[in-house]
Amino acid sequence: MSLDKKHLGSGRFIDANYPDYIVVRDVHEGDVKGKMELSRAVKIDEVEDLKPRRGIFKPMHEIFKKRKNKKVYRYANHYGEYVAYRIAEEIGVPACIVDMAKRKHTNKYTRKTSDIEGCISYIHKLKGDSVVSGITILEEYRREVLEKQGIQSNASDNNNIDTIIKAVDWYLRKKSDLSNQRINEILKSIVEMTVFDCAFGNSDRNDDNWGIWFKPNEEDVNQRVELYPTYDNERILGFMEREDVVKAILEDDDTIKRYHNETLLSRIGFPPKKEKVNYKDMIKYLLDNYPEWTRSGLDKVLNLREKDLEDILSECEGLEASYKMFSMAIFKDRRENIRQCLNEYYLKQSAKKYEGEEL
Ligand SMILES: Nc1ncnc2c1ncn2[C@@H]1O[C@H](COP(=O)(O)OP(=O)(O)O)[C@@H](O)[C@H]1O
Ligand SMILES: [Mg+2]
């Protein structure tokens, strides 16, 4: 059974006051002095079952002033999760379906009840399925392969694309009967996910924000495993920035470029830095080392036109205009730069071919 798409992902706020939704973060009350609200961690390996339409409710980030309980800062992270899902759907990269949603919340101190804005990320796995998170796979790989071979590695290797590809390849060969071709398709989808993150400025693809989906009940052996549709994409296109900061950055084009080039890094990186690298450097590395898979990912992301993103943003009921301008500006700049990386790659390729003919 799959999720009934018709009533999901419309950009309108739905009522999520049902026990079917798991709340992943509490709304923080009190002065947090720059700290985000506390996350109530749920590991994907432990998320259970389930019924279609069960989901994870993620509230909008807000920071309150303690004494007067006055709201000071708002974020648009919940819209980020929705926009990421819609972009992914548009270009054919698997992402969990998201709805904008509201939930009742009772303030601990005043006992007043109010509506909290957020989003729901729907759980796609069904009974009998399991999802193994990146961190679980990488730790097993480190213990059983790297340590035994005396190869030094540390936690930053969990975000190193080369280690990720090797670890998932090893894990799939050990835990499944997939064909080589199917394993390659799954590895390709990891590279495509990384390209997606680079193109849309998602800086948070940490090792608990992706996982491999095992579906033992599928008839065809090769359909029993795939990359779980992405979730926790809320940081894309600057949506995780504070509203007042967005307004300030928007005042000048150079500031926007500097902001996204320096802040929206690719969490997945390559050696020697291994993580948190500039997206253009990441794309170049991927093109040089995983050319076919990267070109396939680039074909997809470059398929999204400005008009498509404008349409997606206009679905977002209640989204502040400044976030729309901000995300459009980041998108256009990245798209242009990524196109340039691809052109440079093709020029390099044809120069190499020419050299070969000369010899
Ligand atoms: N659509 C989903 N399907 C299955 N599990 C999910 C989904 N969305 C979130 N989760 C689980 O909830 C955890 C927390 O959600 P996430 O979106 O990553 O929030 P946070 O920003 O707090 O990390 C994830 O690590 C994952 O285990
Ligand atoms: Mg997460």
pLDDT digits over 248-300, tens only? 999 998 999 999 999 999 999 999 999 999 999 999 999 999 999 999 999 99
- The pLDDT of residue 266 is 98
For residues 115 and 104, the answer to whether their CB atoms sit within 8 Å is yes
Q: Tell me the average pLDDT across 305-313.
A: 98
Does residue 53 surpass a pLDDT of 60?
yes
Query: 1-48 pLDDT, tens per residue?
Result: 355 554 567 788 888 777 667 777 666 554 443 333 333 445 555 555
Separation of CA 42 and ligand 2 centre (Å): 9
Ligand nearest to the CA of 96: 1
Say if residues 45 and 134 touch (Cβ distance below 8 Å): no
Residue 151 one-letter amino acid:
I
Taking residue 255's Cβ as centre, other Cβ atoms within 10 Å add up to 12
Most informative mutation of 21, 24, 97 for ligand 1 (most atoms within 8 A of CB): 24
Mean pLDDT within 57-63: 85
For residue 98, the ligand closest to its alpha carbon is 1
What is the reported pLDDT for 4?
52
Atom of ligand 1 nearest to the CA of 25: 22
In the structure, what pLDDT confidence band is assigned to residue 62 with cuts at 50, 70 and 90? confident
CATH of 1-359 among 3.40.50.11540, 3.40.640.10, 3.40.50.720, 1.10.1070.20:
1.10.1070.20
Which residues approach ligand 1 with their CB closer than 6 A? 24-25, 39, 42-44, 47, 56, 58, 96, 121-123, 208-209, 231-232
Q: Is the pTM of this model over 0.85?
A: yes
Tell the burial category of 293 from Cβ atoms under 10 Å away from its Cβ (0-12, 13-18, 19+): buried
User: Could you say which DSSP state residue 230 is in?
Assistant: B
Q: What is the pLDDT of residues 65-121, one digit of tens each?
A: 655 556 567 899 999 999 999 999 999 999 999 989 898 888 777 888 888 899 989
The percentage of the chain sitting over the pLDDT mark of 70, rounded to a whole number, equals: 86
Report which protein residue has its CA nearest ligand 1's atom 16.
232
Nearest-atom index, ligand 1, CA of 40: 22
Average pLDDT score over residue span 127-139: 94
CB atoms within 5 A of ion ligand 2 belong to 209, 232
Measured in angstroms, how far is the CA atom of residue 111 from the centroid of ligand 2?
A: 29
Cβ atoms of residues 127 and 49 within 8 Å: yes
Closest residue (by CA) to atom 13 of ligand 1?
A: 42
Report the nearest-CA residue for atom 21 of ligand 1: 232
By most ligand atoms within 8 Å of CB, the mutation choice from 3, 56, 212, 234 for ligand 1 is 56
Q: Residue 1 C-alpha to ligand 2 middle, in angstroms?
A: 26
pLDDT over 90 percentage in the chain: 68
Residue 51 has pLDDT above 90, yes or no: no
317 in helix, strand or coil?
Answer: coil
Whether 177 contacts 218, CB under 8 Å: no
The average pLDDT across 122-151 equals 94
Query: Nearest C-alpha to atom 20 of ligand 1 is from which residue?
Result: 232
pLDDT at 357 over 50: yes
* Least confident interval from 28-37, 204-213, 339-348: 28-37
User: What does pLDDT average to over the chain?
Assistant: 88
Residues forming a β-bridge with 121: 56, 98
Taking the C-alpha atoms of residue 18 and residue 20, their distance in angstroms, rounded to an integer, is 5
